[in-house]
């Protein structure tokens, strides 16, 4: 009981604490609502959907077109041309630029560091207002794209590809299970295939969409 008396004294001395605890309790109750199930179910994932991500996108309408959580400082264009796999959220970290004028496919459980650029299109050499067509960027499952890397149009990366920080990837490495780095990126190490073991999370989500509902969502809303 003494603990609660001490808390009551603190509240009486500092009215701001009353508001602090009030809003904490209200917030806790709100997150218990069925609508916010995705926050609870992704809490332990690498790309957890927090209330702040949801509020920034769905209420403040920053990166509102993306169906996956994005940091407010990241940018996506042509989001309907992006296929984001389970627990894969391009732009989840700060400062990313996802330019999907041509399609981008990213496999399950691929993580993308801050300040990464995914550039699926180029400008015409003689008229920069014209976006040139290109084959999609394809990034496999269980990859890691390091901070400041840039993936250029038509690049294909196989499963378990690690892209070193600051790399400029100009060509494909479809075999996967390797480390690439540099400008332009080159293979610097092959990974032990026996140790490249896929994993799955208990509650798989493609962005805000439960995985079991994603195929229906994809057909209705996306171009990929």
Strands 131-132 and 122-123: antiparallel
Distance of CA 140 to the CA centre of its chain: 14
The one catalytic residue among 71, 99, 123, 211: 123
Read off φ and ψ for residue 62, nearest 5 degrees: -90, 125
Active site annotation includes 123: yes
Residues 6+ apart with CB under 8 A from 44: 201, 202
Euclidean distance between CA atoms 186 and 159, whole angstroms: 16
- Strand order across the 150-151 sheet: 75-77, 97-99, 117-119, 150-151, 168-169
**Beta carbons of 106 and 81 less than 8 angstroms apart:** no
Distance, in Å, from the CA atom of 135 to the CA atom of 81, rounded to the nearest integer, reads 12
Query: Hey, which residues are catalytic here?
Result: 123
């Amino acid at each position: 009981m003494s603990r609660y008396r001490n808390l009551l004294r603190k509240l009486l001395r500092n009215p701001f604490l009353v508001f602090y605890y009030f809003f904490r309790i209200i917030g806790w109750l709100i997150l218990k609502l069925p609508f916010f199930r995705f926050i609870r179910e992704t809490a332990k994932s690498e790309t957890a959907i927090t209330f702040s991500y949801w509020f920034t996108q769905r209420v403040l309408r920053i990166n509102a077109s993306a169906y996956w959580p994005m940091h407010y400082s990241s940018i996506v264009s042509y989001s309907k041309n992006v296929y984001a796999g389970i627990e894969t959220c391009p732009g989840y970290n700060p400062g990313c630029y996802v330019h999907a004028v041509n399609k981008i496919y990213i496999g399950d459980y691929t993580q993308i560091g801050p300040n990464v650029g995914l550039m699926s299109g180029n400008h015409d050499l003689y008229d920069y207002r014209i976006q040139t067509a290109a084959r999609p960027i394809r990034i496999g499952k269980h990859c890691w794209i390091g901070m400041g890397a840039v993936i250029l149009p038509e690049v294909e990366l196989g499963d378990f590809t690690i892209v070193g920080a600051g790399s400029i990837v100009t060509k494909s490495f479809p075999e996967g299970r390797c480390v690439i780095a540099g400008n332009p990126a080159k293979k610097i190490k092959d990974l032990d295939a026996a140790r490249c073991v896929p994993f799955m999370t208990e509650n798989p989500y493609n962005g805000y969409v439960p995985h079991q509902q994603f195929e229906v969502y994809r057909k209705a809303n996306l171009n990929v």
